[in-house]
Structure formats: structure tokens, C-alpha cells
Structure 1
Amino acid sequence: MLRWVEWGPVDGMPVVCVHGLTRNGRDFDVLALRLASQGRRVICPDVFGRGFSDWLPDGKLYAVPTYALAFQQFLVQLPGPFDWVGTSMGGLIGMGIGAMSGVAPRRMVLNDVGPFLPAHALQRIATYLGLRPEFTRIDEVEAHLRLVHAGFGRLPDAAWRHMAETSARRTAAGRLVLHYDPAIAEPLLGGPITDVDLWPVWQTLRQPILVLRGAESDLLDEATATAMAARADTQLATFRDCGHAPGLIDPAQTAPILEFLSA
């Protein structure tokens, strides 16, 4: 079962915000509140295997095509057009959805991800994805997240604590662990890590797209972002002092999203 947090009026035009590989829908709390204040209905799912959504029976199913097909069934039930905001993995799912007939978003925001994923960046992600840390206190969870997600940028202390509190669950033994199925690592760690080329998918997209990039990002390099921006109806915003991926908390990062989705 897919579960989500919802913000704003139920009759507002929906915005679906989808998180990164090891994250969950609560990453969008700040952005969701700002979108809701504009009258938008904001839906922030926990992708399968994360947060409060169900875990899948086979780790090999934790892959973008699986998620895109599952979201397709969810999205066809929305009344009318919707927009999509996707961070990292959420952006890849969005690209898959955007290429589908009948469920494509009206507008799409891709947060620090694109149609080319370099192997060295995937290798970096794999180094922490394969870990299964356990903690005794929430401040230990926070310290871990500050380390592995340093690319989010200079977030306020309150934001890191909120992330820790929404990213951990307590085991039967009383230990704190990260709130996702460890099996989500299987597709990435199950074989050699190589570059991923999704340019054929990118070329099928027809909706206006806003690309966000952390200036120090290794997953969305400058050359890829520039090539994406050359496409008609595509805008690019680059943020200093962050890498992969901008945390979407600073007003300077959320303002371009609010403006783009208000069109």
C-alpha cells in the first residue's frame, strides 16, 4: 500500500512531490506548506519501501519502472491535471511518468537529476546505501544524516533534526534504524555500477520542465544540466553552497518552484 502526507485544499490543483532514494515524503514539508498557501493540493508519498508505505516482497522490484507503473495507477485517479516535483529518484520516476500517455504531468520540476547519471556519483551513493546503521539516540541519527546528505547544503539545525525524527523507526529491540527497507539497495549493489543513459526517455518529454541543480552536484553535472536547458520549454536554476541535492527549504530554492508551477 502506498501512503502519503497531504497538504492544502482538497479541491486545489494537485502537486505530487516525490523524494530521493533513501528519503521519504516528509522532506517536502516546507515546500508543501508554501505551495498549499497558494491553494495547491500537495501530495507527498512515501515510495514503496520507505517511510510508512509497504515494503515490496523482492528487493529486485525496487526500481524506477516499478515505481512509475505503480504511480500510474495512483495518478489516473486524480481529478484533472497535476504537476510533479521530484528529487533525485523522484525526478527519474517523474521522467518515466512524463513519457506515459494519459498520466503525464502538466509541469515537472526535476531536483538535481537528469537523463545522464555518472557512475562515480552512483558509486558514492552506494557507499552509504549498503550501510545498515543502528542508533540509540535521535542525535546519532541526525549526525549520520548530516554526513551522508551533506550535499543538501547549509540547512538550519531545526531542519536536520526534523529530518532525523522523520527518517528513523524503532525496532522491537528498541534500537533506532533508518526508515526504509534495506533491500532497496539490491538493484544498485547487485552488479557493476556503470553510467546510466536516459537521453532517449528525455527526448520523449513534452511538458515544461524546471531543472534545479546544486552547483557542487556530482549526480547532475554541469554539462548534462546545460544540455537539458537547451530543450524548448526547459528552465535551469543552479544554487550555490549545495550539491546533491538542494534541500528545498531556503526560500531562494523554493521561490523558482512556486513561480514555475503558478504558470
Structure 2
Amino acid sequence: MPFANSQTEPRLHHVQCLGASGLHRMAYWEWGAADNPRVLVCVHGLSRQGRDFDKLARTMLDQYRVICPDVVGRGQSDFLADPSGYQLPAYVADMVTLLARLDARQLHWVGTSMGGLIGMGLASLANSPIERLVLNDVGPAIAPEALARIGTYVGAALQWPSVEAAADYLLTISQGFGPHSREQWLELTQAMVKPAKATDGAAVWEPHYDPGIAVPFRAITPEIAKAGEAQLWKAYDAVRCPTLLLRGAESDLLTIETAREMTCRGPRAELHELPGVGHAPTLVHDDQIAVVRDFLLGS
């Protein structure tokens, strides 16, 4: 039975997680009725944060309690003292802690890029609670050209005089997100920046993530990448739940060859390509949301 859909803003919570260097807090945004046993977890990409899913959450909270975490090192979550802790297995462990807090009876997952890899890792585990999985423009094999592109900007020390200026810059490195109105882009930018002070004391804005997330990312060698890809394919092949694979038709991260292979092995994902978009669809457009909603609520 549908739940009342009157919420316009999420509730912010934190859960304490255990990492290699001790405890840290992970923030998560909660939409919808707290007593809804049906939970949808939405997890963002490498340098993004949970408020990316505001539009999707507002659309889905009539059916779900929607949970959008800020992966550690991003948004309202703690930054790690040791940046080597920003690794996929650690993110999966944090999400296990979060899922224990949520105590969901029915769990669905939407993951964009890195968030998809985290979901894949969770869904591959024995007795995984994930019943439906959406992988947004990501798979076990990641094109090295995309890694090189991302490496040119992630972790850079940046400051802007206003949110509008930050939006202008972020647009230059986010062409793959596809076309957006100025209003949509500003909404996607708001939670990506936080107020700070320049060396001269002036008020400025800076990225709302720890630059240290780039440390393990930039340590990836061809050998590490090859070994990681083999592990990710092993995880993907262990996924048993129905899986939807979204691909930006112009994506430089998820190649069409990898996408097609994902339809033939493991959970045999249902592939849906989105024209005019690269890496990665933002899921703020009605047509993109409709594809996700139809899959999640389908029989």
C-alpha cells in the first residue's frame, strides 16, 4: 500500500562504523515513512554525495523508505585520518553496518558508478538482503581512459567565490552527465560544496569531500586494475538478484562491450541505454526515473 508522499526534505542521521584506523561516522539521508519496511538505498559516485538522489527519492518515497548515504569522506560523513582507508571493501563494510541499523524487510539498491560497485559487492555476498539491484553506468571492467579523465580533477584543491561559480566549474568536468537546466544543475551543486575561508580571510566555497579520496585512486597501476577487474567479475557472477544496468550511450567508463557481456553472465542484467548521456546519468530526469521505478516496482 502506498505511503503518504508529503515530505519535501530528508532527515539527516549518522551511524558509527568500524574501519582499519578506528571508528568513524557515516551520514545518511532518510526520506519517507520511518516505519516503512520496504527500503531503497541509493549510493552515489566517487566524488559525489547522497543529496544527488533528491529528485529520485521524492519520486519513490510513496513506495519506499529511501536512504541516501554520504559515503565516508564525502558530504556530512567523517573524513578518514588515513586516506588509504578509502577503498571499496571498506565502503562495503560500512554499508553492512548501515543495513543492520535499517533492519529492512525488503531491500532494493540503486548505485551510481562507485555506488554501483558497492552494491555489486553487497549483492554478491551469501545471504545478501538485496532483492533488486540497479547499476548506473558501471560494471566490473572500467575503461582506463575514464580513470585517466577522472584523475585530472578528483582531489584537486579548489575554491570558488560563490555556489554559482562552483556550478560553472563542475559543469566543465561533468559533461557526461548530459543536458540539465540551470535550476537542475544548481540543485545538484548545492550539496557538493561547503563554505570555507580563503587565505586572505574572504568567504569562499570548496568541494564537500576529502581530497584524500584521490590517494588510493591515483595509486592504481595497470596490474592493480587488472586484479581488481578479475575480483569484480567474480563478484558480479555471484549476484543472483534481478539487475538493471543503465548505460549512458556515450559513456567513456562503461563500454558497450562490457555492458553486453553483463547481459550474458552473472545475473544477466537487463540493459537500458540512455541516449545523449555519458558517464553518468544523474537520475533527475523524468524518463530516467521512470526506467528505474518500473524496474524496482516490477514483478
2:87 matches 1:53: no
Structure 1: distance between partners of 2:142 and 2:132: 22
* Residues 1:90 and 1:191: Cα distance change in structure 2 (over 3 Å): closer
Percent identity between the aligned chains?
40
Please give the per-residue CA displacement for 1:73-120, whole angstroms capped at 9, x wherever unaligned.
Answer: 111332312000000000000011111234441100000000111211
Partner of 1:189: 218
Query: How far off its partner does 1:154 sit?
Result: 0.5
Correspondences of 1:82-93 after superposition (within 5 Å):
82-93=107-118
| CA distances 1:47-86 after superposition (whole Å, capped 9, x unpaired) | 0000001111210110111000111111133231200000
1:95 aligns with 2:120: yes
1:138 deviation in Å? 1.3
TM superposition score normalised by structure 2? 0.84
Judge conservation of contact 2:132–2:241 (CA < 8 Å) in 1.
yes
Name which of 284, 292, 298 aligns with 1:249: 284
Equivalent residue in structure 2 for 1:6, among 14, 25, 30: 30
**Matches of 2:241 and 2:81 in 1, distance apart?**
34
- The one-letter code of the counterpart of 1:221 is T
**What displacement does 1:238 show?**
0.3
Indicate if the aligned counterparts of 1:72 and 1:103 stay in contact, CA closer than 8 A.
no
Match of 2:180 in 1: 155
Deviation string for 1:193-242 (max 9, x for gaps)? 54551211111111110000000001110001111112455211100111
Query: Residues of 2 paired with 1:152 and 1:238: CA distance?
Result: 14
Residue 218 of structure 1 corresponds to which residue in structure 2? Answer: 252
User: Looking at both structures, which has the greater relative contact order when contacts are Cα pairs under 8 Å and sequence separation is at least 6?
Assistant: 1
After alignment, is 97-106 or 25-34 more displaced?
A: 97-106
* One-letter amino acid of the counterpart of residue 182, structure 1: P
Matches within 5 A, 1:1-263: 1-12=25-36, 13-37=38-62, 39-77=63-101, 78-173=103-198, 174-192=203-221, 194=225, 196-197=228-229, 198-231=232-265, 232=267, 234-263=269-298
**Whose Rg is larger?**
2
Structure 1 distance, partners of 2:221, 2:204, is 33
Give the 3-state SS of the residue equivalent to 1:116 in structure 2: coil
Return the offset for 1:191.
Answer: 4.5
Count of residues paired in the alignment: 262
**Structure 2: which 5+ residue stretches go unaligned?**
1-24
* C-alpha RMSD over aligned residues: 1.4
Shift of 1:161: 0.6
Whole-angstrom CA distance in 2 between matches of 1:10 and 1:130:
35
CA contact (8 A) 2:123 2:129 kept: yes
CA contact (8 A) 2:155 2:212 kept: no
Q: Report the more deviating stretch, 238-247 or 5-14.
A: 5-14
Which of structure 1's runs of 4+ aligned residues deviate more than 6 A? none
